Amino acid sequence: MRRLAVPFLLAAVLAGCSTPTPGKPSASDQTGSAPATGTSAGTAPVNRPKSVDLLTLDPCSLITPEKKAALGLRKVEPGTPLPVYGEGSKRCNGVYAEIKYLADIHTLVNGGVDRLKRTTGESKLTSLQVAGYPAYLTQREAPGGAPVCEVYIDAHEGQLLLVDAGGMFSEKSATPEGACTQAKALAEAVATELATK
């Protein structure tokens, strides 16, 4: 009788651990609520110069007039946020004086590094540091074949700052390397400013 009780007790405990509470999202479908552990990958604390809640951030504020001139941006203005990045996300559009590339800064408020690795694929991401922040670089082609380079900055638990640069659709001389040069320079400038917020 005792031998039967142990497996039943173990099964009851495990069921209690794995059954989601009604009305509460499970770990796989959380969209923006972040645990207060300070861990992005759920295993170790994330070392950031400063953790900034992106729900309160205007991404265009990260491009000061000095940075705009240094980066060769002709125009920086708010853009339409993409719903896929979560309710409350924001977007800033940039146009370079040399109109070969365009730039965007997005606040992703519905998931952090874990979500990025699931949706993009960990094998497509290159880890790097940007102004002291952990970051991830990936490349893709926009519709029409224009090269796009994306840098995801781990700015806050469960949130990412996406900085990208891509070639103009009609600009045949834009290259993946050129897009990444622009994206990395923009990401460095943006992350440096982010740490002052």
- Concatenating the DSSP letter of every residue in 116-156 gives HIIIIIGGG-EEEEETTEEEEEEEEE-TTS-EEEEEEEEEE
DSSP reduced 3-state for 18: helix
This prediction has a pTM of 0.77
For domain 54-194, give the fold. Jelly Rolls (2.60.120)
Annotated domain spans of the chain? 54-194
What lies within 8 Å, CB to CB, of 14 at 6+ separation is: none
The per-residue pLDDT string of the chain (197 residues; one tens digit each, 9 = 90 and over) reads 444 443 333 333 333 433 333 333 333 333 333 333 344 445 578 899 999 999 999 999 999 999 999 999 999 999 999 999 999 999 999 999 877 899 999 999 999 999 999 999 999 999 999 999 999 999 998 877 889 999 999 999 999 999 999 988 767 788 999 999 999 999 999 999 999 99
Beta strands, E only, 30-109 = 73-79, 91-96, 101-108
